[in-house]
Copies of this chain bind each other. A is one copy, B any other.
Amino acid sequence: MYYESFSQIKKMLGQLTTLLDKAEAYAKEKSFEPNLYLGFRLAPDQFALARQVQIACDTAKLGASRLTGKEAPSHADNEQTLDELRARVRAVISYLDGYSEKDFEGSATRTVTQPRWEGKVMTGKDYFLEHVQPNFYFHLSHTYAILRHNGAPVGKRDYLGALSQRMP
């Protein structure tokens, strides 16, 4: 289940690069600087796009790491361009590519914590359901919302990607 859920998260990270590609193409078409998108935000006191992408990436990366006990690579949060943001996303996809189903054995009952919880812990199962998934999709959707609010012609299909459909 966790392995399949992280496969889905990887797919969504791939869609995130598509969203950024479309925003870049739109900026070029409209003759504005594409990297301006990194600073766009929906409210003055909400994170701008670059931070939304960084947190989506970290939620995926640290989610897998904390559920398995495997080391996660560190990223400096210093991306200044769409190219650098896409490289960050691709680095996380690569990192998740290194996971196998076996890595997640016992994840549901694993004890998970992080510094900001001030000593409190969660089970892996609760952490994944209540924290990783809602946060990952929150920051991914906010990235989409910021792009859409600022003209990028992204649509639900760009967000969802191809579905595993077949004729019966």
Contacts and interface: CB of A to CB of B under 8 A. Distances in A.
Contacts of A11: 130
Looking at chain A, what size class is its interface with the partner chain? 35 or more
Contacts of A141: 137-138, 141-142, 145
A164 B133 contact: no
Contacts of A126: 163-164
A149 interface: yes
Interface of A: 1, 4-5, 8, 11-12, 42-43, 46, 111, 113, 117, 119-123, 125-126, 129-131, 133-135, 137-138, 141-142, 144-145, 148-149, 151, 156, 159-161, 163-168
25 contacts: A5-B129, A8-B134, A42-B42, A43-B148, A46-B148, A119-B168, A120-B165, A120-B167, A121-B166, A121-B167, A122-B166, A123-B164, A126-B164, A131-B160, A133-B133, A133-B137, A134-B160, A135-B160, A137-B137, A138-B141, A138-B144, A141-B142, A141-B145, A145-B145, A149-B149
